[in-house]
Structure formats: structure tokens, C-alpha cells
Amino acid sequence: MRAERILVNAGKTLAVLLLLVWSLFPIVFIITSSFKPGREIFAVPPQWLFEPTFDHYITLWQRWAVFFHGLLNSTIVTIGAAALAVVASTCAGYVYSRYSSRWLGASLLSLIAIRLIPPIVVTLPLFPIVNNLGLADTHFILSVLYATFFVSLGTVLMRTFVDQIPRELDEAASMDGATLPVILWRIIMPLAAPGIIAVAVFVVVFAWNEFLFAFIFTSTKAKTAPLVISEMIGSIEGVDWGVLFAASTIQLLPVLIFVMLMNRYLVAGLTAGATKG
Amino acid sequence: MARLKLSGVKKDFGGVEVIKGVDLDIEDGEFVVFVGPSGCGKSTLLRLIAGLEEISGGQLEIDGRVSNDVPSRDRGIAMVFQSYALYPHLTVAENMGFSLSLRKTPKAEIDRSVLQAATILKLEHLLDRKPSQLSGGQRQRVAIGRAIVREPSIFLFDEPLSNLDAALRMETRTEIAKLHRDLAATMIYVTHDQVEAMTLADKIVVLKGGVVQQVGAPMELYRNPCNAFVAGFIGSPRMNLLKVDVTSVEDGKARLAQPGLEHLVVPAGRVTAPGKALLGVRPQTLTLNPGQHQVSGTVTLVERMGPETVISIRLADGSSLLAVLPGDVEQALDANVSFSFADTDVRLFPASDLEN
């Protein structure tokens, strides 16, 4: 029995370690490489001990100012998308939770169905429309697009959360004098906070890293950081891998920190409704 | 404080009528209790008054003003929910002051009102706690406190004591009665517990199937129930309803044919013709002393409570009958016993009362 348990535990530990290596290796590689002198980056065998250098970061700052502008654009678009998606998902989730009719049921189903369509199918026909409206190359259009693709999932998630808030609380608040927006703001949103954070994490990770829509709908003013990184690869002077890894590290860190900070709530969010709370 | 008038109030949910035209007058400062079995529509009626459900037909007037379409927040009504419905993310003080904070009342004034209500309910030491850190009884008092702080003209209580244990229920019941005396506000209280109804109410409204059966003061309903349903519902244990045959009805008096009841002549009430009827006998009016009018059967259960003994017997027709005898009475199971009663203590109802 005892030997068996040790074996099982060892197996589990090994599996976790493999997973860790599998998921952490690229991150560690990118971050360490950004501090290595250029010729050591792809050295065989890999150099684990090296003298860190900030050269790549300095070069990045001097020659790729457009990257930092891209980061600012990414930040604006991401915050916009997250805010839009959270507000829309919470409101829609509230409606789906509190009201019921045949049409509402059907529309919830269609929300999920829309999610299954490849985004590019919807995106290409949008291009002339966005152009005609004069919305191409704006932060606004990217925020709206990113939010739109997450509202369906966000709505379903938020409905689960609102379902767990007793309806009597809405009624008590309404008798206390609250209007619907006040109920949403002061009762529903604080109590559904883990769900809101889960939706926000999804949207932030997606919007921060997204490439395809940004590539299609922006050119200069609203160009996001991933586009600039791709330009680095296509640079005519050849790829400066050190600078590329420095840019990737900077691109990677904010979202990594954000997800780690929100991790606690995210787990609660993803398992919502699994058991009666 | 407010008067309330319901005229032909109806409510249907998707074609199913659950409130079938209720007429009711509630006076300023009155304590009215809605009672009835579950599903009788008493909670729905309360929610219609609260404005939490839309009225499908008829009219609701609050202080002479038609209020069918007035949102609940503008009706001057506070409600205490069965589940308490405290905001879990707010402290006791914030819960109680929530309505005032929505009205943009100055902080100092909110604090004063909250403290005042908390003092009445002995909650002062709990003001900084969250609802999850309170016991059931404390949560109930916070819910009542939240209603008091609003200074509503009408208080609504939806089965507020049903989640409390027996001792706490009695204590809170006393507190609610005291609160009504102190605040002199109009209160409407829903319960399925007829003891709560009898002890708290100025006026009881008995409901069944969305229809008002009888409205009146507790003792009026106890002494003169208008039908077999009210007779069975008011009083504890419930009134015995014996199936009897009426042989003749003359000058408002009915004569019965049952063995042991041959000499019984009772006021006919709503019974107008010979045939099947129900004879209502309160368990407390039965005695073991021999008398002119008797019912006999086999003892099936003896419950000795100390100050009184409850004896159940099975009658010849298979129905059962309860008797409450004062003091501790020893009685063997399966023995044959006869109970007698005075003809002034019974009431006659048409057999149709218990159909439907």
C-alpha cells in the first residue's frame, strides 16, 4: 500500500514537472535570451551562465520607438475591450439569469453558436463597412471587435454567477429604493466580482496578444505591439533576435503579472456553479 | 402609516389564476395576518402589495391613491423576507442604512437612524459584522432593522420566523408584537402557522386557492368560522370534522342520525336540506365524562404533554378524532372510549365545504 502510494505520488510529481517544463520553457527562454549577448542566444550547447546585458533593451528603445507606441495602443485597446466586455456581459448575464422567455432561450443558444464561427469569416466582410464608417485604424474598432468576440462566453459565465445571487436581494434593494442600474452597480456587480474578473482575464489575455484583427484593421495610429514585433521579424536589415526577445519580454510581462494576480479569482470563476455554494 | 384597499385584485401567471379577485380593507395601524396552506396565494398577495409582482386585474389603493403601477420603491413599503435577503457584502450597519444612502441622506443622519433601530433590536454590538458572521436570529433582527430604518408606512413580513427554531420563534414573535405597539405602523404578515396568526393579528385573512375564505378578528374566526376550511385551519390542534347525516332541517335547526348523536339538535348554519354534513367539534371541548351526545372509537395514540393530554381515536367510519384533555390522563392504546360534548360547542357545515 505504502509503496504504491509513493509510486503514485512520484508519477503525479513527474507529470506536473513535465507540464511545467513544457509551459515554462518558452517563457524562460525568451526572458533569459533578452539579457544574453547576441551571439550567445542560439549557442549550442545553451549557455545557462552568462553576464546579463541590457544592450537589447537600449537598442529597442533607440531604434524601435514605434514598439512603445504600440504598447500604449495595446493598453488602450485592451482596457477598452475589457471594460466593454465586462459591462455588456454583466448586463446580458443579469437579463438571462433573471428573466425567461422562449426568445431569450433561443438567443442564448445563438450566442454560443456564433462563438463557434471562425472569427475570420465575420471579419473580412466587416472590412469595407469599417472603412466606410471611417473607423479603420482606431482604438475604438479594435476594442469593440475584441469585446464582441468575448461577450458570448462572458454572458454565459456571468449568468452562472448572477444565478447564484438570490433574487430576493434584487427585490430587497428595489424595495429599499434602488433602480435597476443601482441594483446592478451596488448589489450584483460586487457579488459577481469573481465572474467579472474571470471575464476580464479572458478578454485581457486575448486582446493583448491578438494579431489577426489588428493586422487587418489598423495601419499606423492604432497599431498594437504584436504587429510591431512581427515587423521586427520581417525587418530588411535581418532579424535582431536579442531586440526581438527584449520586445517579447516586455510584451509578455504585464499580462503574466495580471493573470498571476487574478489567479485566485480566476479559479473560482471557472469552477462557478460546479457545486452549490 | 397608511390605509390599504384591495378591490377585485387578481394575479395570473401564464394563464393560471393564483389570486382570484381579492377585496380587502386594511386600516391605518392595523396588524393583518394572511394565513393559509402552502400554495393558497398568501405570499403572492403580499408581493402584489409590495409591487414585486404586477397586478393582473383589480385595483390596489394605498392611502386613497391607486398604486397598481407605482414602482415598489415609491410605495412607502418595507418588506422582511423569509430568507432575510441581507446584502452579504455589506456590514450590518450598511445593510440597515442602505435605503437611506440611496436617498443621499447625510452620513451622520444615517448613523443616527441605524443606531436607533439597532438599539430597539439589541443589535448595537453587531453593527460592524457581515451577515455571514451572524446567527439566524440575529440576521432576522437585522432584516427587521433594515425595514425600521426606512420608516415605511407599511411593513410587510413574508413568513419571517419560518427559519428559526421554536424558542427563537416565540421570542421574535413577541418582539414583532412589541414593535407593532411601539411604531403603530400598518403591518401585513404572511404565515402558514395559525399560532402566529392568532397571537399577532388584529385581523386574520384566511386564504385558500387564491380566494379569501374569511376575514375577522382571531377570536371571531375561532368562534364563528364561516366554513369547514376555516374551522379546520384556525385552532390548534385542528377542529374535528365528523361526517354526519342530517335527517331534518327545521327553523334553522338540524337533527342528526348518528348513533350517539340521535338527540343532537344544532344550529343548521349553511346546511339547508337533509343529507351529508360535517359536524365541527373542537378537541378541547371533548370530555371523558358521560353525556347525552357521544362519539366512540378505538384509541390509536396518546400524547402526554404534562399540562394536557392529546388522545387520537379512530371512529367506526375510519376517520380519526382528536381530544385534548386537561392534565395528565392515562389511557391504554386500542381501548374503546367515548367522548361527550355539549351541544353549544359544535358547528354544522355543508359536506361540500371540503370538496374542491
Hey, is the C-beta of B87 within 8 angstroms of any chain A C-beta? yes
Q: What angle do CA B240, B242, B247 make, to 5 degrees?
A: 145
A204-208, B90-94, B131-135, B162-166: segment of lowest average pLDDT: B162-166
Hey, is the C-beta of A181 within 8 angstroms of any chain B C-beta? no
> CB–CB of B102 and A177 under 8 A?
yes
Total beta-carbon pairs less than 8 A apart between chain A and chain B: 52
User: What does the CA dihedral A112, A117, A123, A125 come to, rounded to 10 degrees?
Assistant: -110
Q: How confident is the model at residue A277 (pLDDT cuts 50, 70, 90)?
A: very low
Residues B278 and B186 in one domain: no
Candidate from A171, A177, A179 with C-beta closest to B52: A171
pLDDT tens digits for range B52-104: 999 999 999 999 999 999 999 899 999 999 989 999 999 999 999 999 999 99
- Residue A60 forms part of a structural domain: yes
How many domains does chain B fold into? 2
Q: Average pLDDT of B19-32?
A: 94
Q: What is the pLDDT of residue A64?
A: 87
pLDDT over 60 at A272, yes or no: no
Hey, is the C-beta of B89 within 8 angstroms of any chain A C-beta? yes
How far apart are alpha carbons A96 and A73 in whole angstroms? 34
Query: What is the ipTM, given to two decimal places?
Result: 0.84
- Residue B215 forms part of a structural domain: yes
The last residue of one of the domains, among B167, B197, B231, is: B231
The last residue of one of the domains, among B205, B231, B257, is: B231
Residues B12 and B161 in one domain: yes
CATH number of the domain encompassing residue B8: 3.40.50.300
> CB–CB of A175 and B50 under 8 A?
yes
How far apart are alpha carbons B79 and B84 in whole angstroms? 10
Range of the domain at A71: 55-270
- Residue A107 forms part of a structural domain: yes
pLDDT tens digits for range A155-177: 998 998 999 899 999 999 999 99
> CB–CB of A175 and B146 under 8 A?
no
> CB–CB of B150 and A178 under 8 A?
no
Residues B214 and B261 in one domain: no
- Residue B125 forms part of a structural domain: yes
Range of the domain at B23: 4-231
- Residue A209 forms part of a structural domain: yes
How far apart are alpha carbons A218 and A116 in whole angstroms? 25
- Residue B236 forms part of a structural domain: no
* Chain A residues touching B83 at Cβ < 8 A: 166, 168
B196-200, B207-211, B255-259, B335-339: segment of lowest average pLDDT: B255-259
- Residue B311 forms part of a structural domain: yes
* Cβ neighbour number for residue B335 with a 10 Å cutoff: 10
> CB–CB of B50 and A178 under 8 A?
no
- Residue A44 forms part of a structural domain: no
How many domains does chain A fold into? 1
- Residue A50 forms part of a structural domain: no
- Residue A12 forms part of a structural domain: no
Q: What is the pLDDT of residue B252?
A: 85
Hey, is the C-beta of B88 within 8 angstroms of any chain A C-beta? yes
Residues B31 and B136 in one domain: yes
How far apart are alpha carbons B242 and B351 in whole angstroms? 10
The last residue of one of the domains, among B213, B231, B249, is: B231
The whole-angstrom distance between residue A251's C-alpha and the CA centroid of its chain comes to: 13
- Residue A25 forms part of a structural domain: no
Hey, is the C-beta of B300 within 8 angstroms of any chain A C-beta? no
CATH number of the domain encompassing residue A146: 1.10.3720.10
pLDDT over 90 at A240, yes or no: no
The whole-angstrom distance between residue A194's C-alpha and the CA centroid of its chain comes to: 16
Q: How confident is the model at residue A276 (pLDDT cuts 50, 70, 90)?
A: very low
Is B77 within 8 Å of A175 (Cβ atoms)?
Answer: yes
Give the contacts of B271 (CB within 8 A, at least 6 positions apart). Answer: B246, B249, B254, B277, B348, B349, B350
- Residue A196 forms part of a structural domain: yes
